[in-house]
Amino acid sequence: MTTVLGLIGSARKWGNSEVLARQALLGAQEAGAETDLLRLTDLHIEPCIGCMRCAIKREPCPLDDDMFTLIDRLRTADAAVLAAPTYILGPPGAVKLILDRMLMMVPYLDELTQQPKPGLALSVSGLRPWRGTALPFLVTFLQGFGFTRVNSLACYTPGPGEVLLDDALMERVHDLGRQLTQEEGSPPTPETNVCPVCHSDFFTLSADRATCPMCGLQARIEHTEDGIRLAFDDSTGYEGHWTPRGMRQFVEEWIIPSGERFLAHRQEIKARRTHLES
Ligand SMILES: Cc1cc2nc3c(=O)[nH]c(=O)nc-3n(C[C@H](O)[C@H](O)[C@H](O)COP(=O)(O)O)c2cc1C
């Protein structure tokens, strides 16, 4: 039986994130899945200390908190839903604290690349023009923990539980939850000018190219009768920075050499900082 893990990224009881996560899980349950629900703010998560032991030495993180329990729950789930609010234009701190610890997945990258698991990211913001960057962070969170076949939906409503007033939205989320139980599925069709990897709609621009700052995917900027269109070249096979395959490449090609460079200069760095130590 498929097990679907729901993650709530808000401390607000019966807030919109909780309602959306529960609704998606209901859809999954009605399609035969076993479900479980976890509120991220109930976990004890320490900030990453940047020792790089997990990424470079592939050793367990030295911090003693709930990250190992969370990783076990994510590794044993067949699919996951993450629902969280926008807080000051980004993801809430509870989500970002865990994202910052994502390199802890490096020892498991071989396991994660074997089977793409489905995920569903649901962001909820008070106002569409104030939505900021939360949604692609939620997609990145799921990808980093091995849920690479990701669907997403941005929702807009401020008051706690107000999503319940929108029948069409609730129906849609129920259906997206049901889809998490399907073994195979084509990736969602990306909206125009939205990054197909991390679902971001913000880009850095240079000459005729747009780059997604979240996952590094590039697009050619085309000028059409309807305005600007971003043409993503999927023939490159590039999956983005934060999928397990992308993360492995990043660790091997950049993090490990940067560690070696630091070690070669460690004494010099120490000597150069003496005037700052008083
Ligand atoms: C501290 C805080 C910051 C917020 N920042 C934003 C924001 O930048 N943009 C926005 O559209 N909504 C913002 N909101 C509104 C929430 O995203 C919105 O109320 C959402 O429905 C909350 O979800 P929840 O009920 O699951 O907690 C903020 C709310 C709070 C409490």
Distance 86 CA to ligand 1 centre (A): 5
Please check whether residue 111 lies inside any domain of the structure.
yes
Asked if residue 211 has pLDDT above 80, the reply is: yes
Assign 79 to helix, strand or coil.
strand
With respect to residue 108, please indicate whether it lies within any of the assigned structural domains.
Answer: yes
The answer to whether position 115 is within a domain reads yes
Whether residue 56 is contained in a domain is answered as yes
Q: Using the atom order of ligand 1, give the atom closest to the CA of residue 84.
A: 26
- For 211, phi then psi, to 5°, come to -120, 135
Question: According to the model, what pLDDT value does residue 185 have?
Answer: 65
User: Which secondary structure element, helix H or strand E, spans residue 229, and what is its range?
Assistant: strand 227-232
Domain housing 146: 3-188
Q: Which atom of ligand 1 is nearest to the CA of 9?
A: 26
Rounded to the nearest angstrom, the gap between the alpha carbon of residue 199 and the centroid of all alpha carbons in its chain is: 10
Among the atoms of ligand 1, which is closest to the Cα of residue 156? 21
Strand order in the sheet with 79-85: 34-39, 3-8, 79-85, 118-125, 149-156
How many angstroms is it from 23 CA to the middle of ligand 1? Answer: 19
CATH no. for residue 130?
Answer: 3.40.50.360
Euclidean distance between CA atoms 105 and 48, whole angstroms: 13
Residue 240 in any domain: the answer is no
Cα gap 161→172, rounded to integer Å: 16
Query: Residue 138: what residue type?
Result: L
Q: Which of 20, 125, 138 to mutate to test the pocket of ligand 1 (most atoms within 8 A of CB)?
A: 125
DSSP string, 181-196: T-S--PPPPPPTTS-T
Question: How do the residues of the chain divide into helix, strand and coil, expressed in percent and rounded to 5?
Answer: 45, 20, 35
The 3-state DSSP class for residue 219 equals strand
Please give the distance, rounded to the nearest whole angstrom, from the Cα atom of residue 131 to the centre of ligand 1. Answer: 9
Q: Which residue puts its alpha carbon closest to atom 8 of ligand 1?
A: 88
- Nearest Cα neighbor of 51 from 259, 204, 241 is 259
Say if CB 34 and CB 1 are below 8 A apart.
Answer: yes
Compute CA 245 distance to the chain's CA centroid, rounded to the nearest angstrom: 15
Q: Establish if 243 belongs to a structural domain.
A: no
- Higher-pLDDT residue of 240, 179: 179
Q: What is the count of structural domains for the chain? A: 1
Cα radius of gyration rounded to whole Å, the chain: 20
As given in the structure block, the two tokens for residue 141 are 């969170």
Name all residues whose Cβ lies below 6 A of ligand 1: 10, 12, 15-17, 85-89, 124-127, 130-132, 157-158, 160
What is the pLDDT at residue 138? 98
Q: Please check whether residue 118 is in contact with residue 24, taking contact to mean a CB–CB distance below 8 angstroms.
A: no
Residue 95 has pLDDT above 70, yes or no: yes
Tens digit of each residue's pLDDT (9 = 90 or more) over 128-176: 999 999 999 999 999 999 998 999 999 999 999 999 999 999 999 999 9
Mean residue pLDDT of the chain comes to 94
Atom of ligand 1 nearest to the CA of 128: 11
Residue 233 pLDDT > 80? no
> Ligand 1 pocket test: which of 19, 86, 127 has the largest number of ligand atoms within 8 Å of its C-beta?
86
Q: How far is the CA of 85 from the centre of ligand 1 (A)?
A: 5
CA distance 251 to 247: 6
In a domain, 57, yes or no: yes
Q: Is residue 89 part of a domain?
A: yes
Q: Does pLDDT of 37 surpass 80?
A: yes
27 against 243, higher pLDDT: 27
Strand duo 209-211 + 218-224: pairing = antiparallel
